[in-house]
Amino acid sequence: MAANPLNDPKWAENMTDTIVSTVDKVRDRTTKPIVMAARGVVFGLLAAFLGLFIAVIALVGAHRGVINFLEWPLDHDTAVWVAYLVLGGILCLLGSVCMIKRQSQDGV
């Protein structure tokens, strides 16, 4: 009689293995997808914030670079407003291109 715990010395080990495998199967089907979705949301938000941070730092760096480049032929005050004008114009152009591209090809 294999099911009798008095005759089978490995009964406790077999029962423990059965319980552990059942719990693992339930966990894989219930909590694993939730954990993966939560990780996706967290890493997605982290990537979005880091991307925004990098974009802002790059824009500030570009502005400072344009100011430093324009200080050779111009004085500092003129270089600052010309740098604002140049970068503002570039960003307005990019915004206009994005607004044109958002329209569908069908015209609907």
| 20-to-24, 29, 67, 106 alpha-carbon distances in Å | 6, 14, 66, 58
As a whole number, the mean pLDDT across the chain is: 90
Residue 83, Cβ density class (10 Å: 0-12 exposed, 13-18 middle, ≥19 buried): buried
AA identity, residue 74: L
pTM for the whole structure = 0.63
In this model, does residue 1 exceed pLDDT 50?
no
- Mean pLDDT along residues 49-64: 96
Q: How confident is the model at residue 81 (pLDDT cuts 50, 70, 90)?
A: very high
Task: State whether residue 94 is helix, strand or coil.
Answer: helix
* Res 61: pLDDT: 96
75 pLDDT higher than 70: yes
Q: How distant, in Å, are the alpha carbons of 32, 58, 87, 97 from that of 92? A: 46, 17, 8, 9
